[in-house]
Amino acid sequence: MNFERPSLAALSGYVPGEQPADARVIKLNTNENPYPPSDAVAECLRSFDVDSLRRYPPPLANEFRNQAASLHGIKAENIIATNGGDELLRLAFTTFVEPGETIAVMEPSYSLYPVLAKIQGCKVLSVPLLEDWSMPGDLAQSLNHNRVKMLLLVNPHAPTGVLLDTDYLGKLLQEFSGVILLDEAYVDFVDTDLHYNAIPLINSYDNLLILRTLSKGYSLAGLRFGYGIGAASIISPILGKTRDSYNTDALSQKLAVAALSAADAARANADKVRRTRSRLVEGLNLLGLQTRPSQSNFVLAQVPAKPGAARLYEQLKARQILVRYFDQERLCDKLRISVGTDAETDSLLESLRELLG
Ligand SMILES: *Cc1c(COP(=O)(O)O)cnc(C)c1O
């Protein structure tokens, strides 16, 4: 017997990037941070009191919420801790969108969004980005017209690295009558001289829910810790109703607090990533792989028709270098390449020189 809901039978699940067991592989395919987590995290893990695991964890992760609130200059009531950013995405669906209602995503963007929508039984409005990956002009009107309940917007954008500014976001929040889930998974890699900060918008717009994660900026993808930021009114139903009673575990909570307490160390790593990003872009462009400026820890590179992106992906893989290839419209002639260490970047550029030369 197949007991699966019929609506799920037709659904293909989210396919994560490959995680090879071989440690020698140069992994530039899933946007992990190439640098280790801070010493504060390592120290916290070493001194963790195993006996404390006998008890259930603090249900709301209040120590973490206080820490995050003080880091961002807001209140604990504006923060919800989640089991990775992905859990916050799932909670946003179950909290704000009834089955049968419509959510909107930009096309292309994070392919988990439509999967979560279908699990919740929602309709998906896909709004294509313009030719240069910019936003269509009449977005809010078209979302309202289609009775969209929630827009999932990743900023800086994945997989292009394009950043929307806060003036634009404020205007969109003003005009759109639904919730905007602003996915800031990659915000830690935005150039600091842009002074991008969307958090103050939560004071003016109660339809804004910002996603943050420790996976990328804090080098903790293996930990599974993320958080949401928003007005108390948008945080409170998630906190009090849709969340699992103990959605983050005791060990993760402690390590996440340690990570945020050493935010400077994470910022120093992000600086290194930004510097390497410039070198990577320069190197790719010299080899004829066009890129647009990226505000993220990856770049999207256009591959010439010969050899083509699919073939180049395979050739790099044969050399133990993994990058991300998307077999879909508008992306199938490109490769998304995570910014690694300088040495990894050199190896990648060296291989590309041989393969394309
Ligand atoms: C990595 C990522 C997330 C969150 O990832 P978690 O590891 O679950 O915190 C969310 N959105 C995008 C676009 C991402 O790339």
Q: Is 29 close to ligand 1, i.e. is its CB under 6 Å away?
A: no
Cα–Cα dist 264/15, whole Å:
33
Write the residue with the smallest CA distance to atom 4 of ligand 1.
85
**Of ligand 1's atoms, which has the minimum distance to the CA of residue 183?**
11
Centroid of ligand 1 to alpha carbon of 185 (angstroms):
5
- Of 22, 32, 11, the C-alpha closest to 273 is 32
- Counted residue by residue, the chain has a size of 357
pLDDT tens-digit series, residues 283-329: 999 999 999 999 999 999 999 999 999 999 999 999 999 999 999 99
Write the residue with the smallest CA distance to atom 15 of ligand 1.
185
Q: Calculate the alpha carbon distances from 28 to 15, 107, 153 in Å.
A: 16, 23, 24
- pLDDT band, very low/low/confident/very high, at 20 (cuts 50, 70, 90): confident
Asked if residue 307 has a cis previous peptide bond (ω within 30° of 0), the answer is yes
Q: Compute the average pLDDT of residues 332-337.
A: 98
pLDDT for res 112: 95
Half-sphere exposure of 106 (CA within 13 A, CB side): 26
Close Cβ partners of 187 (under 8 Å, ≥ 6 residues apart)? 155, 156, 196, 212, 217
What is the share, in percent, of the chain residues with pLDDT greater than 70?
Answer: 100
**Of ligand 1's atoms, which has the minimum distance to the CA of residue 109?**
13
167: buried, middle or exposed (CB in 10 Å: 19+, 13-18, 0-12)? exposed
Centroid of ligand 1 to alpha carbon of 263 (angstroms):
19
Q: Is 210 left (phi over 0), alpha (psi -120 to 50) or beta?
A: beta
- pLDDT band, very low/low/confident/very high, at 265 (cuts 50, 70, 90): very high
Alpha helices (H) in 84-184, listed in sequence order: 84-96, 112-119, 139-145, 166-175
Sheet holding 334-338, edge to edge: 290-291, 298-302, 334-338, 324-325
Query: In this predicted structure, which of 10-24, 140-154, 198-212, 240-254 has the lowest mean pLDDT?
Result: 10-24
- pLDDT band, very low/low/confident/very high, at 354 (cuts 50, 70, 90): very high
% helix, strand, coil for the chain, step of 5 = 45, 15, 40
Average pLDDT along the chain:
96
**Of ligand 1's atoms, which has the minimum distance to the CA of residue 110?**
13
- The DSSP code for 21 is S
Centroid of ligand 1 to alpha carbon of 211 (angstroms):
9
Cα–Cα dist 197/166, whole Å:
7
pLDDT tens-digit series, residues 42-77: 999 999 999 999 999 999 999 999 999 999 999 999
Centroid of ligand 1 to alpha carbon of 81 (angstroms):
14
Q: Compute the average pLDDT of residues 90-98.
A: 98
Mutation probe of ligand 1 site: the residue of 213, 223, 255, 296 with most atoms within 8 A of C-beta: 213
pTM metric for this prediction: 0.97
Spell out the SS3 assignment of 181-218: EEECCCHHHCCHHHCCCCHHHHHCCCCEEEEEECCCCC
Is the distance from CB of 140 to CB of 96 less than 8 angstroms? Answer: no
Q: Inform me whether the pLDDT recorded for 97 exceeds 90.
A: yes
Q: Inform me whether the pLDDT recorded for 201 exceeds 90.
A: yes
Write the residue with the smallest CA distance to atom 1 of ligand 1.
185
- The DSSP code for 129 is P
**Tokens 């973490």 map to which residue?**
64
Q: Inform me whether the pLDDT recorded for 13 exceeds 90.
A: no
pLDDT tens-digit series, residues 208-251: 999 999 999 999 999 999 999 999 999 999 999 999 999 999 99
Cα–Cα dist 66/75, whole Å:
7
pLDDT for res 279: 97
Q: Is 105 close to ligand 1, i.e. is its CB under 6 Å away?
A: no
pLDDT for res 287: 96
pLDDT for res 19: 87
Close Cβ partners of 85 (under 8 Å, ≥ 6 residues apart)? 183, 185, 211, 212, 213, 215, 226
Q: Compute the average pLDDT of residues 147-169.
A: 98
Token duo for residue 185: 């998974």
Token duo for residue 81: 């801790």
Q: Is 184 close to ligand 1, i.e. is its CB under 6 Å away?
A: no
Write the residue with the smallest CA distance to atom 2 of ligand 1.
185
Centroid of ligand 1 to alpha carbon of 353 (angstroms):
31
pLDDT for res 7: 86
